[in-house]
Homo-oligomer: A and B are copies of this chain.
C-alpha cells in the first residue's frame, strides 16, 4: 500500500565507479579494475538522518566514512556539555582520519541533515592499499590535505579577526560546493549559527551581527539558512589578506 522508499535505494547499484565524487574521493587515479576492488570493501547503508552519529568519541576505530550526499559535523565533546566543532564535511570528504593513530575516535561525528555515507573498513583498506600503489598514494594525499587544511584553520583562529573568519568560512563553503558541481553563490547552510560560531571560535551573537553587516554592505543576501553571495570576489579577499582595511600588520 504505502510505497517503501527504501526499495529504490537498495536496488540502485551504487558503486564507486559510477560515483560523481570519485575524483574527489579515494578512487582518484586508479584503474577501473582497482576501483572495483575498492568498491568491494565499501559498505553502504540506508540514509542517515539529522542527529544520527557515525561514531562517538571514545569508540574503537574500525572504519573511515565518506560523505556521499548531505553533511556531517565532527566535534570533540568536552566535559559539561561544551564542545568544539572541528569541521563540517561535505560530499566527497573523508571522516575519521584522526582516529587511525590511537585506534580510537577522539571526536564524534553527527549527521546534520539526511545523508548517504560510505563506510570503509580500515583494516581491509590498508591491505588493499598495500597492493595498489595509486591507492596508497591517494590516501597519503588525502591525509596530507587534511593536515594542510588544519594549518589553514590554525592561521584563521590564531591571526584572523571575526570578520575575516566568517568571510573565510563562506568562501570555503562556496569553493567546496562548486567543486561538487553546485552553485558557488547560492546555497543552504545545514548548520546553525551556534555551530558556525563554535567552529570559528566566535560567539553566536558575533556571527549573527556579521551576517547582518555583510548583508548591509551588499556582500551577501541571507535568509535564515539560505545564503546568496552577491560579491564573491570581495568575500574572498576579505577572507584572505585581512589587512585590507588596516595597513598595520598583526605583530603576534
Q: Does A151 contact B (CB under 8 A)?
A: yes
The answer to whether A202 has its CB under 8 Å from any CB of chain B is yes
A184 within 8 A of B: no
- Residue pairs across A and B with Cβ atoms less than 8 A apart, 9 shown, are A84-B154, A98-B148, A100-B144, A101-B141, A136-B136, A139-B140, A143-B143, A153-B154, A159-B201
A188 to B107, CA, bound (A): 33
1/0 per residue A215-252: CB within 8 Å of B? 00000000000000000000000000101000001111
Say if the beta carbon of A145 comes within 8 Å of chain B: yes
For the complex, is A130 an interface residue (Cβ under 8 Å from B)?
Answer: yes
- CA A101 to CA B146, docked complex, whole Å: 9
Is A210 in contact with chain B by the CB < 8 A criterion? no
Chain B residue numbers with a CB within 8 Å of A200 are 158
Confirm or deny: A129 has a beta carbon within 8 angstroms of a beta carbon on chain B: yes
**Closest chain B residue, CB of each to CB of A131:** B130
Number of copies: 2
Residue of B nearest to A122 (CB): B140
User: Given A126-B136, A157-B154, A159-B84, are A102 and B243 also a contact pair (CB < 8 Å)?
Assistant: no
Question: Is A114 an interface residue when CB atoms closer than 8 A count as contact?
Answer: no
Stretch at the interface among A5-13, A73-81, A169-177: A73-81
Known contacts A136-B136, A141-B101; decide if A151 and B252 are in contact (CB<8 Å). Answer: no
Contacts of A143 in B (CB 8 A): 97, 100, 140, 143-144, 147
Q: How far is the CB of A139 from chain B (nearest CB, A)?
A: 7
Answer yes or no: A91 CB below 8 A from chain B CBs: no
For the complex, give the distance between the alpha carbons of A147 and B148 in Å. 9
Interchain CB contact (< 8 A) of A249 among B81, B98, B158, B199: B81
The interface residues of chain B lying within 8 Å CB-to-CB of A159 are 82, 84, 201
Contacts of A144 in B (CB 8 A): 97-101, 143
- Residue A22 at the B interface, CB < 8 A? no
A102 to B102, CA, bound (A): 26
Q: Which of chain B's residues have a CB closer than 8 A to the CB of A139?
A: 140
Q: Are A98 and B136 in contact (CB under 8 A)?
A: no
Q: Verify B79–A241 contact, CB threshold 8 A.
A: yes
